Structure 1
Amino acid sequence: MFIVSLSYIAPLEEIDAQLEHHVLWLKQCYADGLFLASGRKEPRTGGIILARGERHVLQQRLAQDPFALAGLARYDMTEFHPSMTAAGLEALQDSQAA
């Protein structure tokens, strides 16, 4: 599983101009089963995506984000293996985690 931290490197006016396209891209990533959760940071300096799958696939998809294509955001990926979760989120646990 991955935590992707997006950090805006452009003014919010430029981010907002691409937001509709970014949301469509997000929806496609959810439909493809790659993303589990996403949302804005507070204060509004970027966003967070919780994703699953193969690192190279995720990297390819992040490169297709309209924010990336327009040079508006930087992406930092952290891979982790959840071994514990709150009740109801057991499906997120990694059977390989120790």
Structure 2
Amino acid sequence: MFIVFLKFSENKSLASQFMDGHNQWIKQGFDEEVFLLAGSLQPNLGGSIIAHNTTLVELQNRVNEDPFVKESVVTAEVFEISPKKADARLNFLVGA
């Protein structure tokens, strides 16, 4: 399981130009069952994604295809988590 932080860079003002592509990239991640959750970092710091069903290398490659990353609108940080305990609703993530 992974958490991806997409933090706005000095090119934040370009976000509107690449928003459609970024939203399509997010949709593709959900369609391919890699992304579990996506949302904003508050207050207006960027975004975050929880991902699974992928490897670190595959996820890093996917993140590098995000138009926001390609155009330096955000900087990306990927953290791998090895879940050991979870609420029953999230048990599918334990040991994944």
Q: Same fold (TM over 0.5)?
A: yes
Cα distance between partner residues in 2 of 1:12 and 1:65: 14
Match of 2:83 in 1: 82
The yes-or-no answer on 1:73 pairing with 2:70 is no
Give the TM-score normalised by structure 2.
0.89
Gaps of 5+ in 2: none
Higher alpha-carbon deviation: 42-51 or 80-89: 80-89
Cα distance between partner residues in 2 of 1:88 and 1:68: 32
Match of 1:63 in 2: 64
Q: Aligned to 1:84, what secondary structure does the other structure show?
A: coil
Deviations 1:39-85 (A, max 9, x none): 01110111111112101110111110010111111011111111111
Give the TM-score normalised by structure 1.
0.87
Cα distance between partner residues in 2 of 1:77 and 1:46: 14
Aligned-pair Cα RMSD in Å: 1.4
Q: Aligned to 1:88, what secondary structure does the other structure show?
A: helix
Q: Alignment length, in residue pairs?
A: 95
